[in-house]
A and B are shown apart, each in its own frame.
Chain A
Amino acid sequence: MRDSRTRSKSRWAALPLLVFVVIVFGVPMLVLLGGTFTKEGTLSTANLTESLQGAYLTALAGSVKLSALVAVLGGVLGTFLAQAVVTSRFRALREAVLTASGVLANFGGVPLAFAWIATLGNSGVVTTTLGLGAHGWSLYNFWGLTLVYLYFSIPLQVLTVVPALDGLRPQWREAAQNNGASTWQFWRYVGIPVLTPALLGGVVLLFGGAFSAYATAQAMVGSTVPLVTLKIADALTGNVLIGHENVALALSLDMIVVAGLVMAVYLPLQRRSARWLR
């Protein structure tokens, strides 16, 4: 009796949060959906069709390509770095790398772009010191963005896989060795299968981070590299034909669908890896 009263009462405590999210998050999302399917006051899919054509499609594809490349490269390199740190005998090294990863994974946005411009931009310190400009070096393209995005992606991957690598019990390796397995066989049949969910989960997170990044790209390349976030920003700030304002909303919906699909891969994976790595 008393228990059920507490229960119904405590449900009210979560109400403000839910109401807040419905209003502040739900309403804009509904308007986004509504605006995508409205053109000049009537119901239509014209915006969506337009957002999947020509320059807009190129931008969407460019974003997916960049994010996929960053996710895979960052995933692989981050895992190697994490393994190097986890197997190291130096406690201090491990702690330094993890703390630095925590900071660098959050180092994004405008400051990140400026740090790289100061390093490898046209008048950057490294560019001028090594005379890279004469060899046709430029940071302001697809590969430059990849290089810069890896700067926060690799640390993020380190943070994601270190707990998983810690969860690989030494006993498993010993058991495999006692049964005559080589290092390669241990990784092929034990290590990688156990780690796969965590690794893929990290890759998905990296994809999401690179896919939604706007500030770094805006500060670095302006609009020379076609990216969907830059196109949305362009359209929102009025840089679009009259009557086509809702294309920004349609592009946003495209982005949410892509991000949602990728995240849908992540959630079941995370549950599976949690089962092994307690």
Chain B
Amino acid sequence: MASLTPQVSTQLAPATAPGRGGRPRRPRVWRGVVLVLAAVYFLVPLIASFVFTVKAPDQGFSLDAYGQIFSAEGFGGSLLLSLGLGVATIVLVLLLTLPAAVAVRLGAPGLRPVLEVVCTLPLVVPPITFVAGISTVLRWGPDYLASTPLYQTIIAVQNPDFPVVLVLAYVVLALPFAYRSLDAGLGAIDVRTLSEAARNLGASWPHVLLRVIIPNMRSAMASASFLTLALVLGEFTIARLLSFQTFPNWIYRISGSQAQVSVAVSVFSLLITWLLLLALSSAGARQRSGS
């Protein structure tokens, strides 16, 4: 699966100031070779995928595959399901991580190592092993819990129309990214001074959080949300092994019958990720130039 990675800012380049000139010409040659090879390796599959989707056996060129995406059976339903799961995951992950990140900054630095560990675990444990555990819990649950109210809960979280169990699993997967971007965002503002000033003026803690901290954290929260959304829209392992028809699972399913359409959707979904991440990096750039 696509492991989401933290973004390196494209703007931090103080070390590469000019004035490194005066070096021999030789490095330029290998640099050119490396860049050309990289360009070939990374661009050819993108171009070839596009060519593959517009190549029609007899007419030569046609955009039919892209048109067929929208009329393909199951497209709307699975995309809506994935978007819904994405929104629910974002809300839950922000509700859980933001108070924790603020608490670590303000009053409980002792908790930082605990949170660091909690947010590293999902990176160490491969998603497929996580889903092996989850599916066993879901399988065993009914046997052991049949007489307790937990039984109903286990059935309810597996509702195929809106599988809450996926939201729970995705929150765990998204934790590391969400926590890191929120923690970085908190590091960029002076939380202590802001919150003490607000407290001295008589604001309650919820008020401080909602009216002082969150407005200052908008771009960090946006970046946490974008990363989470990209993760949910691309996640395949857990959804497939628990048999829920999310968007990536749908792409996989139609590939058997409509190869061109499935490649078209792949190109399309790459474009969506691209736009999401571009929005993310430009939001980050705006914040940096503003501060």
Q: What is A's interface to B at a CB cutoff of 8 Å?
A: 6-14, 16-18, 20-21, 24-25, 27-29, 31-32, 35, 80-81, 84-89, 91, 93-95, 98-112, 114-120, 124-126, 150-152, 154, 156, 159, 162-163, 166-170, 205, 208-209, 211-216, 218-219, 229, 232-233, 236-237, 248-249, 252-253, 255-256, 259-260, 263, 267
Contact = CB atoms under 8 A, between A and B. Distances in A.
Contact of B122 (A25, A119, A167, A232): A25
Interface residues of B, number: 100
B16 A214 contact: no
12 contacts: A95-B11, A101-B8, A107-B2, A119-B48, A166-B12, A205-B5, A208-B123, A214-B126, A215-B248, A216-B1, A255-B128, A259-B125
A117 B263 CA distance: 9
- Across chains A and B, which 8 residue pairs bring their CB atoms closest together, nearest first? A28-B133, A108-B2, A10-B107, A212-B126, A111-B266, A252-B129, A118-B52, A215-B236
Given A20-B171, A126-B44, 6 more contacts: A81-B34, A91-B13, A94-B10, A103-B270, A111-B265, A236-B135
A133 B14 CA distance: 49
B79 interface: no
B131 interface: yes
Contact of A163 (B8, B230, B269): B8
A256 B236 contact: no
B52 to A, nearest CB: 4
B123 A215 contact: no
A93 to B, nearest CB: 8
A108 B48 contact: no
B255 A114 contact: yes
A166 B12 CA distance: 9
Contacts of B95: 16
Contacts of B266: 110-112, 114-115, 118
B136 A249 contact: yes
Contacts of B133: 27-29, 31-32, 249, 252
Interface in B230-284: 230, 234-237, 240-241, 248, 251-252, 255, 259, 262-263, 265-267, 269-270, 273-274, 277-278, 281
A126 B281 contact: no
Nearest to A232: B128
Contact of B132 (A18, A80, A116, A248): A248
B123 A11 contact: no
A81 B21 CA distance: 19
B114 interface: yes
Contacts of B38: 81, 84, 154
Contacts of B3: 106, 108, 152, 156, 208-209, 212
B31 A87 contact: yes
Contact of A119 (B44, B121, B137): B44
A31 B129 CA distance: 11
Nearest to B253: A110
SS class, residues of chain A in contact with chain B: helix
B132 A32 contact: yes
Which of B51, B102, B169 neighbours the largest number of chain A CB atoms within 10 Å of its CB?
A: B51
Contacts of B205: 9
A37 B270 CA distance: 42
Interface string B82-106: 0000000000000111011011101
Contact of B2 (A152, A159, A218): A152
A7 B108 CA distance: 6
A9 to B, nearest CB: 7
Given A9-B107, A10-B107, A115 B263 contact: yes
A157 to B, nearest CB: 10
Contacts of B30: 84
A167 B171 CA distance: 34
Contact of A116 (B2, B45, B124, B128): B45
A108 B233 CA distance: 12
B55 interface: yes
A87 B49 contact: no
A106 B3 CA distance: 6
B130 interface: yes
Contacts of A81: 34-35, 38
B136 to A, nearest CB: 5
A233 B132 CA distance: 8
A111 B53 contact: no
A118 B48 contact: yes
Contact of B126 (A108, A159, A255): A255
B15 interface: yes
B223 to A, nearest CB: 11
Contacts of B273: 103, 106-107
A203 to B, nearest CB: 14
Contacts of B97: 17
